Homo-oligomer: A and B are copies of this chain.
Amino acid sequence: MKSIGEIIRELREQKSLLLRQVAAEIEIDQALLSKIERNERMPTKDQVKRFAKFFGKDENELLVSFFSDKLVYEVRDEEVALKAMQVAEKKINYIIKSKNGKS
Contacts and interface: CB of A to CB of B under 8 A. Distances in A.
Contacts of A93: 82
Interface stretch (A8-16, A17-25, A33-41, A83-91): A83-91
B87 A64 contact: yes
A63 to B, nearest CB: 5
Interface residues of A, number: 34
A30 to B, nearest CB: 28
A47 interface: no
Contacts of A96: 81-82
B91 A78 contact: no
Nearest to A79: B60
Given A85-B85, A87-B65, A95 B72 contact: yes
